Amino acid sequence: MRATLYTLARFVLIVVLTTTPLLLSAQSQQKIDEQRKRVEQYRKDLESAKSEVSTLKKEKGSASRKVEALKKQMNLRNNYIAETEEERSLVEADMNNVSNRCDSLRQELERNLKLYAEVVRIAHRNYTQNNFTSYIFSAENASDMARRIGQIEHVGEKYRALADSIKSQEVRLQLERDKLTARRNELDSITRTLEDERKALAADKEEAQRSYNRLSDQEKRALNNQRKQQQRLDNALAELRKLTEGNTTGASFSDKTKNLSLPVVDGTLVKSQGNMAMISGKRGATVRSIYEGKVIRLAKDNTNHHMVFIAHGQYISVYTHLGSVSVKENQTVKRDQKIGTIGIGIDHNGSESAYMQFMINHAEPTKKMNVVDCFKKR
């Protein structure tokens, strides 16, 4: 009897020392799921770019457009590869964690199985030798007998607890092994995808080089000039993004904001495309902020007209071709507050008139919006 109690005491100690909470890696799975969403978005963008390249190849269009489309496809594919590599890294790290948990569970299970075998052996010996009965009836008095019966019942509970623990460990171990197999399959699939995309990227580079070499000198100059202008625009937007960091003024503005007044008092929307619009008005007409915000920059364009940049949260409204400005940098402005007057120049029809150019950008370049949707319908 004492041997049985001693052995079960060892079981309790082992369970306390070796059984740690083996939680499912919910946090790791969440990171993997989030990364997969990013990968999927890049995959969709890449498919869209591939479709555009395919269409241009069938058309007899500008050769430089094909080169630019291929460049866009290469950049998207490169980003897709980078995001997929990050997914692979997360899956691999979680696979290693699962493998470690499998080893820990297996070792613990082996120890408990060995201990259980020892307990069964002692229990069988006690049963054959009638030790429990002798142990009870060798009690000195009724109180001692009750205590010994309680000990025997305690031993039985420990038998069941040990058996239940082993069953639970076997189930958990199988679950972890299944998860490990799934992770290995995922890793193999991701690795194959990366190999395919790297080969495709190499092919894209060769095709882009061949297409560029077929351009005329004039087309090459025009294309290089276009790239320089795009780079300047990207640099300018990067600077503006820095200026919007932490800005909370006008933060309620979004691509869902509606029913705003045109930035020119009594102005007329002449034309628009995407996030840009041309608005005409009377000479000297007031130019106003479309929404509350913070003036983050004042500048002049190449015709010496004024430019005003206003941050509304992370959005930036840009007012160009102004004749005068009535605000200062870092000044907070209200919705419909005057910021200057309309400029005079040659409009798209070639006649002299009063007009201004308007644009809305987000600090994150991937976020697009149609500027016309913001204004009141007339």
Distance, CA of 249 to CA of 237 (rounded, Å): 19
Q: How many domains does the chain have?
A: 2
Residue range(s) defining the domain that contains residue 46? 2-210
Are 70 and 181 members of one domain? Answer: yes
Let me know if residue 240 belongs to a domain.
no
Which CATH number belongs to the domain containing residue 346 in this structure? 2.70.70.10
Closest CA to 72 of 211, 187, 191, 184: 211
- What DSSP designation does 248 have? -
Are 52 and 180 members of one domain? Answer: yes
Domain boundary among 173, 192, 210: 210
Let me know if residue 360 belongs to a domain.
yes
pLDDT at 69: 82
- 172-180, Cβ contacts within 8 angstroms, sequence gap of 24 or more: 172/22, 172/105, 173/102, 173/105, 173/106, 173/109, 176/22, 176/98, 176/101, 176/102, 176/105, 177/102, 179/98, 180/95, 180/98, 180/99, 180/102
Are 55 and 141 members of one domain? Answer: yes
Are 277 and 183 members of one domain? Answer: no
Domain boundary among 177, 192, 210: 210
Are 31 and 126 members of one domain? Answer: yes
Let me know if residue 251 belongs to a domain.
no
Are 59 and 184 members of one domain? Answer: yes
Place of tokens 């010996």: 125
Distance, CA of 354 to CA of 326 (rounded, Å): 18
pLDDT at 131: 59
Let me know if residue 185 belongs to a domain.
yes
Contact 310, 289 (CB under 8 A): yes
Are 204 and 293 members of one domain? Answer: no
Let me know if residue 252 belongs to a domain.
no
Instruction: For residue range 83-92, list pLDDT tens digits in order.
Output: 899 889 999 9
Are 199 and 300 members of one domain? Answer: no
Tell me the whole-structure pTM to 2 decimals.
Answer: 0.51
Are 25 and 109 members of one domain? Answer: yes
Contact 292, 277 (CB under 8 A): no
SS3 184: helix
**240 HSE (CA, 13 A, CB side):** 28
Are 10 and 105 members of one domain? Answer: yes
Let me know if residue 261 belongs to a domain.
no
Are 167 and 310 members of one domain? Answer: no
pLDDT at 338: 97
pLDDT at 185: 92
Collect the ranges in the chain with pLDDT lower than 50. 1, 3-6, 8-9, 11-23, 129
Contact 321, 343 (CB under 8 A): yes
Main-chain phi, psi angles of 21, to 5 degrees: -60, 110
Let me know if residue 218 belongs to a domain.
no
How big is the chain by its Cα radius of gyration, in Å? 37
Are 159 and 279 members of one domain? Answer: no
Let me know if residue 115 belongs to a domain.
yes
Q: Which helix (DSSP H) or strand (DSSP E) does residue 316 occupy?
A: strand 315-325
Domain boundary among 164, 180, 210: 210
